[in-house]
Structure 1
């Protein structure tokens, strides 16, 4: 039987398209705190970091102010959820890819994301995906990306070595996370960082569609 492998997915920009929601709430938060409103591109550039670190970098403020801004952002986000509706759709092909990988007895699936654990669980419940993942790594109990902690903790939880792990994501933070942990990396082009940035941050392979994921995993793991 083949050796087990751990396949870690980023969430925002990789599994779900949440860029518009994030940019809107960033704009509202910055207005509330008297900062210049960031462009959509600026807001997209920090997706993947923990919310507090994202605020600190984007607003160029101190940690205390970033913490307050993160609280404001979360209030805007909760107000959106209270209104109902679907705001963060799965990318085309994501569900089929996850179902294929879940059916592979050698593959264990995990999440490594800048999204908070409550938000992760909400998305997994919404799309009936909770049973697909054996490990969920968030900033609630790890340092923010690109620190290797998320993958190292996932490996410790599953008993799978980082060398048998692949990190799949749309940002340079995902590629840096994977490389610093000793894992393989697959960049995806449908998210929020440019292909060139993914290449320069050390992606082992880059794909443009979920139909290419299975082959990419086999290539980087062999």
Structure 2
């Protein structure tokens, strides 16, 4: 594989606590009922505006809520109780892949670039990625635009790329872009959901993912 693209939340990092606290803070600020955790987590991967519109009541000021979310996210992220935590073995996996001369790495996330780039910098991962595609640069997942843009940015053909994610939105996006989709089960959607969404392969551990990427043509 010449290009390996990763989703961020639920694939590289556990952001459950941060996302739920952001939702709680924003919905409370606007006097709206706080969504159930399972409802919030089920929508991770889509763009924030779509997520908030689905979780809030029809007359909710979604645009203002998006702005509030952008304000509270860095504040909460600075609190160790809520900061994203890499899944075990992910940092080592990314470092190893970044050393491969024939492979480029990418990100395709439902975050905005203003949200994901600082997170990558804090984790010390930013320089490992040749392309970062975010929600403010393309339509929301499962639209394939982010992956198609990553292919153009890196000059890699779809047949030589793979997208790794933890949600059905990720797998539908990969299929639509003509990219191999690998689903991981340590995130927010189940193996069954990933398979039904068209995953070409589903892995249950980081070690299994590492082995597959090491042996894939």
Q: d(CA) in 1 for partners of 2:162 and 2:115?
A: 23
Q: 2:67: which partner in 1? A: 71
Runs of 5+ unmatched residues, structure 2? none
Shift of the 118–85 alpha-carbon distance from structure 1 to 2, 3 Å rule, reads farther
The answer on whether the counterparts of 2:49 and 2:62 sit within 8 Å (CA) in structure 1 is: yes
TM-score (norm 2): 0.92
Counterpart of 1:198?
A: 194
Name the CA distance, whole Å, in 1 between partners of 2:190 and 2:126: 30
Of stretches 166-175 and 30-39 in structure 1, the one that deviates more from structure 2 is 30-39
1:1-222 matches, within 5 Å, as 5-59=2-56, 61=58, 65-81=61-77, 87-217=83-213, 222=217
In structure 1, runs of 5+ residues without a counterpart are: none
Shift of 1:85: 6.9
| Count of residue correspondences | 217
**SS of aligned partner of 1:97:** helix
Runs (4+) of structure 1 exceeding 6 A deviation are none
SS of equivalent residue, structure 1 residue 187: strand
Secondary structure of 1:13's partner? coil
TM-score (norm 1): 0.90
Query: Match of 2:143, SS?
Result: coil
- Asked if 2 retains the 8 angstrom alpha-carbon contact of 1:205 and 1:216, the reply is no
Structure 1 counterpart SS, 2:181:
strand
RMSD: 1.9
- Per-residue deviation, 1:37: 1.5
Q: Is the partner of 2:163 in helix, strand or coil?
A: strand
Contact residue 124 and residue 130 of structure 1 kept, 8 A: yes
Is contact 2:3–2:106 with CA below 8 Å preserved after alignment?
A: yes
